[in-house]
Each structure stands twice: as structure tokens, then as C-alpha cells.
């Protein structure tokens, strides 16, 4: 048998086995990967705080991590408070939104020439007939419980990883008696740290810009809870391509329900789509491709692959994981060709 063909077959089988293990081990691997990214954010923010012109020189060296964690916790608490307040306000205004939505549906029915315009009672009856309420409530409770348990596990992993971070460099230096292998591993770790750090920083900047632009558009049109939608738009921006679509659809659906006017909904759709096209489909992939040296096509394929393996968490983690794979592949002769194909311009 041709040795190259044999190696290809073995590599394909190995990749399929790894994919199967990643899929069935989703509950184990996803919290670990998320915790590593959280540690990257904490370490990066701590370094920024220490380097601040006015505050940094007065901060002790060990104060960076606690302040970084405090800043992240306060930010998450603010987001949680905003989401909780928005949900409460939406619940209070639900009857008004229901009436507006009904008016919009009846208007469409009249324009289509339907003999019987639907009423809220018939709509509710038709919708509930297609929904198993008990199953929906049960799945919601299970989903919320899974999210809470995953967050707890991630926090535990983060705490222990921060403790391990202080001795990680020493461990790498003693991982082999061959200095060449040690330097190779150190080089891989350094490149991963630099590129993932750059990715998170650039992605955060782009997400903030996207959220601010979305907030300005929604505030100008008069869509309620513009701050909440801005936060959602910023968070969805971490999901390549698909996040841009969802960050338009959700506010447009809400605007349709709020105003019961398809003209205003079209204005929101056109405005947010234009912003997403300029930022999400041009600036975002270009910056991310350069910072991680990934082809835009590879980013899209990795999104599909990791979403299939891990669902929604995989969509958020697809780009960092693929970038790490390229860096590792580039260090070994047998997989260097794969790294070149996955890169943006063939330079690795």
C-alpha cells in the first residue's frame, strides 16, 4: 500500500475518532475550553490594568488578578441586571405587545383578502395546538439548570487555572530534557497566547462598536429596550456570520411586535443590516482573519463543524479552537501542509 495513502487513511480515522470523543464528551470539554478563555480574559485585563498611566504604577503586582475578576463580575452583574429588568418590563407590557401584534396580523390578513381575519383567541388556539406546554416547560427548566451547573464548573476551573498559571512556565521548562523540544513547546504556547489574546481584544472592540451602532439605530427609531438589544448584538457578534444574522432578526421581530407597522420594521431591518454588512461581513472577518491568520472560508467551516459537535457553545468557541489547531499543526512536518491550507495567505 502507498505509504502516503496509508497515512491519509490513518489520519482520517484518527480525526473521526477525535470528533466522536469531542461530541460525546461535550459536557466535559466545553466547560474546560470556556474556563481557559475566561483565564485569557482575566490575565489580559490584569495586564492592561497594571499598565494604565495613572493607576497602574500604584497597583501592587498581585492586585491585577483580583481587580480584573472584580471588573468582570461587576460587568456580568450589570448585564444580568439589565436583562432581568428588560424581562420584567416586557412582561408588564405583554398585553400591549399582544394587541399590537394582533393588529399587524389582522392587517396582513385583510391585505391578503382572507375572509375571516384571525383573532387573538384563534391565534393562541392555533399556536398552542402545535406546542406541548409541559414538554416546553420541562426542557426550559433543564436548560436553565444545565447553564447554571456549567457556570459553576467553569468558575471552579478558572480558580484552579489561575493558581496553576503561576507555575505553568516552570512546568513547560521541565517538560523535556531536550532543550530543542522545550523551545518548540514554548514557541507554540507563546504564539497561542499572543493570537488568542489579540483575537479576544479585537473581537471585543468590534462587539462594542457593533453594540453601540445598534443602540444608536434602535434608539433613533424608538425601539424599546435599546440597551438590552445592544448587549445582545454585542454578544452575538462573537459568533461569526450567524451571529450577525440573529442580531438583526431579533430586534426586527420585536420592533414588528412593538409598532405593528411593517414600514418601521423594514427601516430597522435595513439599518441594522447595513451596519452588520459593513462591520460584520467586512471589518470583522478581515480583522479576525489577520489576527488569527485564518481564511474566512475556514472560519465559516469551523463554525459549522464545532456547532455540530458542541451546539451553541461550539459556535462561540469555533474560531479560537481552530486558531490553536493551526498553530500546533504548523510546528510538525506531517501536519504543516494542513496549517498552510487553513491559513489566510499561506504564511505561517
Full-model pTM: 0.76
pLDDT for position 55: 67
Together in a domain, 157 and 244 = no
Residues of the chain with pLDDT > 70, as a percent, come to: 79
Q: What is the 3-state secondary structure (H, E, C) of 278-309?
A: HHHHHHHHHHHHHHHCCCHHHHHHHHHHHHHH
- Among 115-124, 143-152, 221-230, which is the least confidently predicted range? 115-124
**Domain annotation covers residue 62:** yes
Q: Supply 229's cell numbers.
A: 438589544
Residue 2 in any domain: the answer is no
One domain for residues 19 and 167: yes
H or E element in which residue 275 lies:
helix 262-275
Q: Taking 70 as the threshold, does the pLDDT of residue 139 lie above it? A: no
Q: What is the pLDDT of residue 59?
A: 72
Tell whether 229 and 298 lie within a shared domain. Answer: yes
Span 113-129, mean pLDDT?
A: 52
Average pLDDT over residues 152-180: 86
Pair 200, 244 in one domain: yes
Could you give the angle at the alpha carbon of 263 between the alpha carbons of 99 and 107, nearest 5°? 45
- Are 138 and 217 in the same domain? no
Determine, yes or no, domain membership for 98: no
The domain boundary residue, chosen from 174, 204, 224: 174
Is 6 part of any domain? no
Q: Give yes or no: residues 250 and 140 share one domain.
A: no
Least confident of 14-28, 88-102, 260-274: 88-102
- Cβ count near 105 (within 10 Å): 16
**Number of domains comprising the chain:** 2
Q: Are residue 210 and residue 327 in the same domain, yes or no?
A: yes
Please state the separation of Cα 299 from the chain's center in Å. 13
Are both 340 and 305 inside the same structural domain?
Answer: yes
pLDDT at 174 over 80: yes
Residues of the domain holding 311: 177-184+195-348
> What is the Cα–Cα distance from 100 to 260, expressed in whole angstroms?
5
- Helix residue ranges, H only, 25-115: 26-50, 64-92, 94-111
261 close to 339: Cβ distance less than 8 angstroms: no
Do 161 and 243 share a structural domain? no
117 three-class SS:
coil
Answer whether residue 190 is part of any domain.
no
Model confidence band, residue 272 (pLDDT cutoffs 50, 70, 90): very high
What was the pLDDT predicted at 215?
93
CA distance 42 to 60: 16
Q: Express the helix, strand and coil content of the chain in percent, nearest 5 each.
A: 85, 0, 15
Among candidate residues 205, 213, 215, the one with its CA nearest the CA of residue 238: 205
Residue 133: predicted pLDDT: 47
Same domain, 287 and 328: yes
Residue 218 has pLDDT above 90, yes or no: yes
- Answer whether residue 124 is part of any domain: no
Amino acid at each position: 500500500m502507498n505509504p502516503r495513502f496509508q497515512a491519509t487513511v490513518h489520519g482520517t480515522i484518527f480525526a473521526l475518532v477525535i470528533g466522536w470523543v469531542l461530541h460525546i464528551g461535550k459536557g466535559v470539554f466545553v466547560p474546560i475550553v470556556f474556563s481557559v478563555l475566561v483565564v485569557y480574559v482575566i490575565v489580559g485585563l490584569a495586564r492592561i490594568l497594571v499598565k494604565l498611566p495613572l493607576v497602574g504604577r500604584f497597583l501592587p503586582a498581585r492586585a491585577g488578578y483580583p481587580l480584573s475578576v472584580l471588573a468582570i463580575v461587576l460587568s456580568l452583574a450589570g448585564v444580568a441586571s439589565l436583562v432581568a429588568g428588560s424581562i420584567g418590563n416586557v412582561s408588564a407590557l405583554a398585553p400591549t405587545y399582544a394587541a399590537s401584534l394582533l393588529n399587524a396580523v389582522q392587517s396582513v390578513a385583510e391585505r391578503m383578502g382572507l375572509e375571516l381575519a384571525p383573532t387573538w383567541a384563534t391565534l393562541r388556539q392555533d399556536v398552542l395546538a402545535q406546542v406541548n406546554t409541559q414538554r416546553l416547560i420541562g426542557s426550559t427548566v433543564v436548560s436553565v439548570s444545565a447553564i447554571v451547573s456549567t457556570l459553576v464548573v467553569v468558575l471552579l476551573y478558572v480558580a484552579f487555572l489561575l493558581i496553576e498559571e503561576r507555575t505553568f512556565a516552570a512546568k513547560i521548562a521541565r517538560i523535556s530534557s531536550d532543550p530543542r523540544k522545550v523551545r518548540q513547546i514554548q514557541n507554540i504556547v507563546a504564539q497561542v497566547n499572543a493570537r488568542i489574546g489579540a483575537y479576544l481584544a479585537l473581537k471585543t472592540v468590534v462587539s462594542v462598536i457593533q453594540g453601540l451602532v445598534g443602540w444608536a439605530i434602535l434608539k433613533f427609531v424608538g425601539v424599546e429596550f435599546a440597551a438590552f438589544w445592544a448587549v445582545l448584538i454585542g454578544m452575538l457578534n462573537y459568533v461569526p456570520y450567524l451571529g450577525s444574522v440573529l442580531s438583526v432578526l431579533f430586534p426586527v421581530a420585536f420592533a414588528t411586535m412593538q409598532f405593528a407597522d411593517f414600514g418601521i420594521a423594514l427601516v430597522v431591518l435595513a439599518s441594522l443590516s447595513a451596519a452588520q454588512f459593513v462591520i460584520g461581513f467586512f471589518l470583522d472577518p478581515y480583522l479576525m482573519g489577520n489576527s488569527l491568520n485564518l481564511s474566512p472560508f475556514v472560519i465559516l467551516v469551523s463554525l459549522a463543524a464545532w456547532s455540530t459537535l458542541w451546539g451553541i457553545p461550539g459556535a462561540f468557541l469555533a474560531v479560537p479552537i481552530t486558531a490553536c489547531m493551526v498553530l500546533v499543526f504548523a510546528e510538525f512536518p506531517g501536519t504543516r501542509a494542513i496549517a498552510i491550507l487553513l491559513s489566510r495567505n499561506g504564511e505561517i
